[in-house]
Amino acid sequence: MLDKQLSYIVFEVAAFITISLVSFGFVRWSKVFSIRFFSIVGLLLFLFVLIDLFALKLNLWSFPLEGSLSIRILGLPIEEYILLLLHMAGCIMLMEIFQND
């Protein structure tokens, strides 16, 4: 059975791989990986981390050690950062598929 601490990140990576396979052939990678893309992703990552930190401070949610890896940045588990990046990349891939040219 999968370790509790790894189950969250394994699920997220599996979802990202699925979206990547579905979007293969539809995504124009030269358009996706641009300075504009990295600027937007950086800004969104910053905003979502602020929201997470604020929610932690207000005790709206928590990240128990037994349910996540012990690597933390600013009190958030590393999986949370990976999750945000994977979700943004997945959304961009899906937008490329369904974009009206």
For residue range 36-71, what is the model confidence (pLDDT) as tens digits?
Answer: 778 888 898 899 899 989 998 998 888 877 777 788
Query: What pLDDT does 30 receive?
Result: 67
| Domain assignment of residue 30, given as a range | 4-98
Q: What does the alpha-carbon distance between residue 93 and residue 88 come to, in Å, rounded to a whole number? A: 9
How much is the pTM? 0.69
The domain total for the chain is 1
Compute the distance between CA of residue 40 and CA of residue 56 in angstroms, rounded to an integer.
Answer: 24
Q: What is the mean pLDDT of residues 89-100?
A: 73
Closest C-alpha to 92, from 46, 42, 27, 39: 27
Q: What is the pLDDT of residue 100?
A: 53
Cα separations (Å) of 66 from 34, 63, 77, 87? 38, 9, 11, 23
Helix (H, G, I), strand (E, B) or coil at 73: strand
